[in-house]
Amino acid sequence: MEVDSSDMNSDGGRMLDDTEEPSTSEEKLYFMDSSDLDGDKDEEPVKTISPSTSNNIPLMRVVQSVKHTKRKSSTMVREGWMVHYTSKDNLRKRHYWRLDSKCLTLFQNDTGTKYYKEIPLSEILQLDPPRDFTNLAQGSNPHCFEIITDTMVYYVGENLGGNYQNHALAATGVGLDVAQSWEKAIRQALMPVTPQASICTAAGQGKEHSK
């Protein structure tokens, strides 16, 4: 009996040791696997998503900025602040206008390259004095002249009334005088360019040939 009890104790001790050892090893394996798996799950989305978001978004911004930026033209005729509203929006807006030999560009300010609207001179059908006041907002001052295109009418300037000149307001694009000067400049830009030099040269050559 004593031998059997000692054998049982020794076997029992061995069974406890055997059961404890696998449990400790399983626990170690479990914690290692869980930490490794969690780490892989956390890292995989960062590696796959972050490059796409960090690369595509700036590219979209670059494309948008390219579409609405323009350098100052070397053939600029006139520049300055001017106000206008349109046949589609009666809210009067102020922009920095630049007129060159090909188009009229409405910039957001006088220093940057971003612009609000570009009106090619080839799309301007005619310039008219102020005639159409149907789109004028109630209580607003009338415009000074109209730029008519195929798709829109631009009501340019703001006539404050009276014959006085306010240079401070004119610098902001308000007043009859500054609007009339813009109308004159646009009319001149719309006029066809006559190659006077080439005509004179051809006439001179014709006379010499006749002699």
The string of pLDDT tens digits covering residues 147-166 is 999 999 999 999 998 766 78
Per-residue confidence (pLDDT) for residue 70, from 0 to 100: 76
Per-residue confidence (pLDDT) for residue 164, from 0 to 100: 63
How far apart are the C-alpha atoms of 64 and 58, rounded to whole Å?
A: 10
Per-residue confidence (pLDDT) for residue 159, from 0 to 100: 95
* Burial of 179: CB neighbours in 10 Å, binned 0-12, 13-18, 19+: buried
Per-residue confidence (pLDDT) for residue 43, from 0 to 100: 43
How far apart are the C-alpha atoms of 26 and 177, rounded to whole Å?
A: 91
Per-residue confidence (pLDDT) for residue 186, from 0 to 100: 97
Per-residue confidence (pLDDT) for residue 152, from 0 to 100: 97
Query: In the chain, which residues have pLDDT < 70?
Result: 1-67, 163-164, 193-211
**What are the two backbone dihedrals, phi and then psi, of residue 133, each rounded to the nearest 5 degrees?**
-115, 15
Q: What is the pTM of this model?
A: 0.61
Domain residue spans of the chain = 1-67, 76-190
User: Does CATH place domain 76-190 in 2.60.120.380?
Assistant: no
Q: Which run of H or of E encompasses 83? A: strand 76-86
Per-residue confidence (pLDDT) for residue 58, from 0 to 100: 52
How far apart are the C-alpha atoms of 180 and 144, rounded to whole Å?
A: 7
Using an 8 Å Cβ cutoff, are 181 and 208 in contact?
no
Residue pLDDT, tens place only, 156-204:
999 998 766 788 889 999 999 999 999 999 999 999 866 654 444 444 5
Per-residue confidence (pLDDT) for residue 166, from 0 to 100: 82
